[in-house]
Homo-oligomer: A and B are copies of this chain.
Amino acid sequence: MIKNGSRLSGDIRRDQIVEAALRIIAKRGVKSLTTAAIAEEVGISEANLYRHFNSKDEILQGTVEKIGEGLLRNLDAVSVMTDASALARLKRLFMLHLDYIDRNEGIPRLIFSEEMHIGKENLKEKLLNTIGLYSAKLESLIKEGQKAGLIRKDMEHSSAALMFMGMIQILTMKWSLSGFSFSLVDEGMKLWRNFEKCLSVK
């Protein structure tokens, strides 16, 4: 049995464990992600966990990978919209992102968590890598919009991309602090309308 973090197509338990971890984070936070809690959520013994992962850290790594895959799927979904304008695709990406977070409340918890920021170089790297891919896509969409005459030419790509991600972040954080009490998507729509004014040529 290979347990070194590499994917093994047939290992159903691995997926169950990772999904259980995400559920626990969503419900009770990263601090409550103990081996005991995971084992109970899956319905197996704690010792059995270690038949599928070498450490709790590896489990965490699995959940980060899973989240990253979901986010990158959104990039693909937008890439496919070949007949839509750059601005329409940016909007779609914005809403897809919010919707994905809405369906996985563990995401902001995990991304903001200290586990992701301190030590754990592999986790940090994965996150930075995903952010990098995301930024690149955003910047290329913005450039495309500028060429098409939809987005003002004096808008700097990297700054606009940061603004895009910043809006998602602050909204997500407010949402998390409020106990997920308002509609991410509705509030996001309002924010987007304003951002579009910023981008558009007058």
Contacts and interface: CB of A to CB of B under 8 A. Distances in A.
A154 to B, nearest CB: 6
A186 to B, nearest CB: 13
Interface SS of A by simple majority: helix
A154 B131 CA distance: 31
Interface in A121-159: 124, 127-128, 131, 152, 154-156, 158-159
A163 interface: yes
A31 B156 contact: no
A156 B194 CA distance: 7
Contacts of A168: 166
Nearest to A161: B170
A197 B117 contact: no
A1 interface: no
Contacts of A195: 159, 163
Interface of A: 28-31, 109, 112-114, 116-118, 124, 127-128, 131, 152, 154-156, 158-160, 162-163, 165-171, 173-174, 176-178, 190-191, 193-195, 197-198, 202
